[in-house]
Amino acid sequence: MISKKKYRVSSSGGRMSRSAIKNYRKKRSMKGGNMLKRIKAELNKISEMSEPNPYISINPQINEETNGRVTINAVITFPSDSVYYGGNFHVKMVIKPDYPFSAPIITLTTPMYHFNVSDDGQIKLKKLDRWDPRYRLYSLLSEIQNALYKFDTTENMEMVNENIFRLFNENRPEFDRIVRDHVLQYALLSHKVGGVGESFQVSTDTCKKISAKSECDKKSGCRWTGERCVREWDNPRQDFSHLFVHRGGQCVSTRAKKLVSKRKKLSMKGGNPIIRIRNEFKTISQMSEPNPYISINPQINEETNRRLSINGVITFPSDSVYYGGNFHVKMVIKPDYPFSAPIITLTTPMYHPNVSNMGEISHNKLGLWSPAYTLYSILTEIQDGLYKFDTTENMHVLNDDMYKLFTENRPEFDRIAREHVLKHAL
Give the DSSP per-residue string, 251-301: EEEHHHHHHHHHHHHHHHH--HHHHHHHHHHHHHHT-SS--TTEEE--PPE
Q: In a 3-state reduction of DSSP, which class is residue 383?
A: helix
Structure-model confidence comparison of residues 223 and 241, the more confident one = 223
Q: What is the pLDDT of residue 416?
A: 92
233 close to 246: Cβ distance less than 8 angstroms: no
Q: How confident is the model at residue 239 (pLDDT cuts 50, 70, 90)?
A: very low
Structure-model confidence comparison of residues 194 and 164, the more confident one = 164
Residue 63: which residues within 8 A CB-CB, separation 6 or more?
Answer: 70, 71, 72, 73
For the chain, report the end-to-end CA distance as a whole number of angstroms.
Answer: 88
pLDDT digits (tens, 9 = 90+) for 244-289: 444 444 444 444 444 445 444 444 444 468 888 888 888 888 888 8
pLDDT digits (tens, 9 = 90+) for 130-142: 888 888 888 889 8
As a whole number, mean pLDDT of residues 296-304 equals: 83
Q: What is the pLDDT of residue 173?
A: 86
CA–CA dist 331, 30 (Å, integer): 47
Q: Please determine, for residue 365, whether its predicted confidence score (pLDDT) is greater than 50.
A: yes
CA–CA dist 161, 175 (Å, integer): 13
Helix axes 400-408, 410-424, angle to 10 degrees: 130
Q: Please determine, for residue 81, whether its predicted confidence score (pLDDT) is greater than 50.
A: yes
What are the angstrom distances between the C-alpha of 259 and each of 97, 172, 188, 310?
26, 33, 11, 26
**What are the strands, taking DSSP E only, across 117-255?**
192-194, 222-224, 229-231, 244-247, 250-253
Q: What is the pLDDT of residue 29?
A: 47
Q: How confident is the model at residue 409 (pLDDT cuts 50, 70, 90)?
A: very high
Q: Please determine, for residue 424, whether its predicted confidence score (pLDDT) is greater than 60.
A: yes
Counted residue by residue, the chain has a size of 426
Q: How confident is the model at residue 298 (pLDDT cuts 50, 70, 90)?
A: confident
Q: What is the pLDDT of residue 54?
A: 83
Q: In a 3-state reduction of DSSP, which class is residue 182?
A: helix
| Full set of structural domains in the chain with CATH | 18-162 (3.10.110.10), 189-265 (no CATH), 271-424 (3.10.110.10)
Output DSSP code: residue 28.
H
DSSP secondary structure string, 96-160? -TTTTSS--EEEE-S----TTB-TT-BB-BHHHHT--TT--HHHHHHHHHHHHHHT--SSSB---
CA–CA dist 168, 159 (Å, integer): 12
The percent of residues above 90 in pLDDT, for the chain, comes to: 4
Q: Please determine, for residue 231, whether its predicted confidence score (pLDDT) is greater than 70.
A: no
CA–CA dist 251, 323 (Å, integer): 49
Residue 224: which residues within 8 A CB-CB, separation 6 or more?
Answer: 213, 216, 217
Peptide bond into 338 cis (omega under 30): yes
What are the beta bridge partners of residue 405? none
277 close to 291: Cβ distance less than 8 angstroms: no
CA–CA dist 118, 110 (Å, integer): 12
CA–CA dist 105, 17 (Å, integer): 26
The percent of residues above 70 in pLDDT, for the chain, comes to: 75
Q: What is the pLDDT of residue 192?
A: 30
Structure-model confidence comparison of residues 204 and 373, the more confident one = 373
pLDDT digits (tens, 9 = 90+) for 90-139: 899 998 888 888 889 889 988 889 988 888 888 878 778 788 888 888 88
Most confident of 2-16, 169-183, 193-207, 218-232: 169-183
pTM here is 0.42
Q: What's at 238, amino acid-wise? A: Q
Output DSSP code: residue 304.
S
Q: What is the pLDDT of residue 329?
A: 92
Q: What is the pLDDT of residue 111?
A: 87
pLDDT digits (tens, 9 = 90+) for 6-33: 444 444 455 556 666 666 655 554 444 5
What are the angstrom distances between the C-alpha of 353 and each of 193, 279, 363, 388, 406?
31, 34, 13, 12, 8
Mean per-residue pLDDT of the chain: 76
For the beta carbon of residue 205, count every other beta carbon within 10 angstroms.
8
